[in-house]
Amino acid sequence: MIFTTKWWALVLRGIAAIVFGLFAFFVPGITVGALIILFAAYALIDGVFSIAAAINRTDRSGHWGAMLLRGILGILASVAALTLPGMTALVLLYLIAAWAIVTGIVEISAAIQLRKIITGEWMLVIAGILSILFGVALMAYPGAGILAVVWLIGTYAVVFGAVMVGLGISLRARRRHGEVEAGRRAA
């Protein structure tokens, strides 16, 4: 029943990503400063939830280190974005790209480690692949213009968020199924 008791944290991460993405869509003319603040807020929230998941883990297999590292990197990315507000759009893009690639690698690693314990781990793999592709696309086309990047970031955030919400809901259903089975065995 690993992570099934913390399904809501994945749903909250997904909702935060979707809100971030929708904001990027509906306010495409935001300034780089506002984008920095939005990214910093999202990376901070994501980092805090990742650290909380690592600390409050229900699994004792020792695979919590990657989640802790992911959380620390998210918080560091947030702090860097907030303390260096004068950074250029290009530097911000590379910061976001590196963060997305690391996030993707950690998500795929977690899915591989959890594949024998949970079902629906393929959604975590998809989230990781999306993160890596997003980071690579940002690095490959940094001069595409900040408006295009805002739309790309919005698309990534909405899709990634939807996948995380789907995984959370899947884990919630698995938990409920486990509770029903436990009730049947007890009766």
User: pLDDT (tens digit, 9 = 90+) per residue, 34-82?
Assistant: 777 878 888 899 899 888 888 877 555 566 788 888 889 989 988 888 8
Going by pLDDT thresholds of 50, 70 and 90, the confidence category of residue 1 is: very low
pLDDT at 32 over 70: no
Q: Which residues contact 77 (CB under 8 A, 6 or more apart)?
A: 39, 40, 43, 47, 95, 96, 99
Domain map (residue ranges) of the chain:
4-186
- Residues 102 and 70: beta-carbon distance below 8 Å: yes
Task: State pTM to two decimals.
Answer: 0.53
User: pLDDT (tens digit, 9 = 90+) per residue, 137-186?
Assistant: 888 877 665 677 778 788 988 999 999 899 889 888 887 777 666 666 76
3-state secondary structure of 140: helix
* H helix intervals, the chain: 7-26, 32-55, 65-83, 89-114, 121-140, 146-186
pLDDT at 2 over 60: no
Write down the pLDDT at residue 64.
77
